[in-house]
Amino acid sequence: MNIYGKDYTTKALRKRVGNMDQIAGVRRMALDDGNERPGRVALIRTGSGLEVTVHLDRGMDIASAAFQGKAMGWRSTTGDVAPQYYEAEGLRWLRSYFGGMMTTCGLTRVGGPAADSAESGQGLHGRISNTPARDICVRQYWDGNRYMLRVRGVMRETTVFGENLTLARTVYTALGEDRFWIHDVVTNEGFKKTGLMLLYHCNVGWPALDENSRILAPSRAVAPRDDHARDGQKQWHHMDKPTHNYQEKCYYHDMAPGRDGAVTVAMLNDQFASNNGFGVYVKYFKRELPRFVQWKMMGEQDYVCGFEPSICTVEGREAEEEKGLLNYLRPGERREFHLEFGAITSRETVKTLEKACRKVKTAYVDSYEDFGQHK
């Protein structure tokens, strides 16, 4: 394996360290300042320069990720907020939205809040991201010639007389990797058919995102969420500089999967010509997550582009039900989801992504309901 630019056999590497945490490992830590307290996180280091922070008390979401000192995800002004400070009503989810490399939205609501959210608690983007994990298990072990790093836990979203859903999440990587993976299993533990909404809010920030950065994605159709997004629809892939009073724009995409069924979406800054480029990618499987939402927010401080593979729209649960789009889990039924996140530092990787995207012609349509004619 290649560590610090040199190849080592497993035996040779183990001879050089007394404890593997000299190179890589998982460290559980407590957050103890301001309204982040009390919070638990797991810091994963791969030895290649990849560091991933898993927030154990916030749905095991990826609070931050960096590669060789460069941030991969955007961090909001709220910082880490303990789940005790979660405000479910209306849009108050934003009071504790740290952004991060990934925030999970669901499991019974994604998108806008219910009209009676003050009474029902059915606010923006649901509850799962503010749910602490139980049965947490950290493993660091040799699997043949790979030194594996894994964090696993289970979140439950339930209420008396209502849903009883669990999300079992495993975040894992290996020594020397510049990427990490998430494997989720959502199960209906109850005895009633239950509506399921799930969206992975993957938030790319500076320095991958900057003026003239671009998105590479196999998008065969793009639809604006609203009239405001329609202005600039054909520039969905082009990033602007931080802009005062910028109003967010959202686009729906119909992505073309590769032969393996996977979709890769990347953000690249414009420095690859001078060998100083940096990018971030998200990979997922379209059969698991058939929809994709892009959140383009070029505001000052709120400077982020969201890659959001999902099983639903962001119009809210009521709209999903009205249009017959809501997914359901039968009693005992489970669904699995797989995602990969990584850093891009080479022009060769960029060329491979560009080649895949050139094969896909993008159509511009009025609504995601028009996607069918372009498949």
pLDDT score recorded for residue 375: 46
Query: How many of the other CB atoms lie within 10 Å of CB of 28?
Result: 13
Residue range 259-272: mean pLDDT, rounded: 94
Tokens 């009503």 appear where?
89
Average pLDDT of every residue of the chain: 95
pLDDT score recorded for residue 18: 94
Choose the weakest-confidence range: 183-197, 235-249, 360-374.
360-374
Domain boundaries, the chain: 22-374
Residue range 141-156: mean pLDDT, rounded: 96
Is the pTM higher than 0.75? The answer reads: yes
User: Is residue 374 scored above 60 in pLDDT?
Assistant: no
pLDDT score recorded for residue 5: 82
The pLDDT tens digits of the residues spanning 55-104 come to 999 999 999 999 999 999 999 999 999 999 999 999 999 999 999 999 99
User: Is residue 270 scored above 90 in pLDDT?
Assistant: no
Question: How far does CA 193 lie from the centroid of its chain?
Answer: 27
Residue 88 CA to residue 44 CA, distance in Å, equals 30
Q: For residue 242, say if its preceding peptide bond is cis, omega within 30 degrees of 0.
A: no
What ranges in 108-193 are assigned the alpha helix state H? 117-120
CATH classification number, 22-374, choose in 2.40.50.140, 2.70.98.10, 2.120.10.30, 1.10.10.10:
2.70.98.10
Choose the weakest-confidence range: 114-118, 124-128, 220-224.
114-118
Tokens 């094969």 appear where?
359
Residue 231 CA to residue 233 CA, distance in Å, equals 6
Pairing state of beta strands 327-329 and 279-285?
Answer: unpaired
- 51, 65 contact by CB (below 8 A): yes
Query: How many of the other CB atoms lie within 10 Å of CB of 156?
Result: 18
pLDDT band, very low/low/confident/very high, at 121 (cuts 50, 70, 90): confident
Q: Which of 256, 258, 260, 262 is nearest to 218 (CA)?
A: 256
Fill in the amino acid letter for 88: A
pLDDT band, very low/low/confident/very high, at 180 (cuts 50, 70, 90): very high
Q: Cα-flanking dihedrals φ and ψ of residue 228, to 5°?
A: -60, -40
Residue 223 CA to residue 63 CA, distance in Å, equals 30
Q: Which two tokens stand for residue 273?
A: 């010509």
The pLDDT tens digits of the residues spanning 202-257 come to 999 999 999 999 999 999 999 999 999 999 999 999 999 999 999 999 999 999 99
Residue range 316-323: mean pLDDT, rounded: 93
pLDDT score recorded for residue 61: 98
- 325, 313 contact by CB (below 8 A): yes
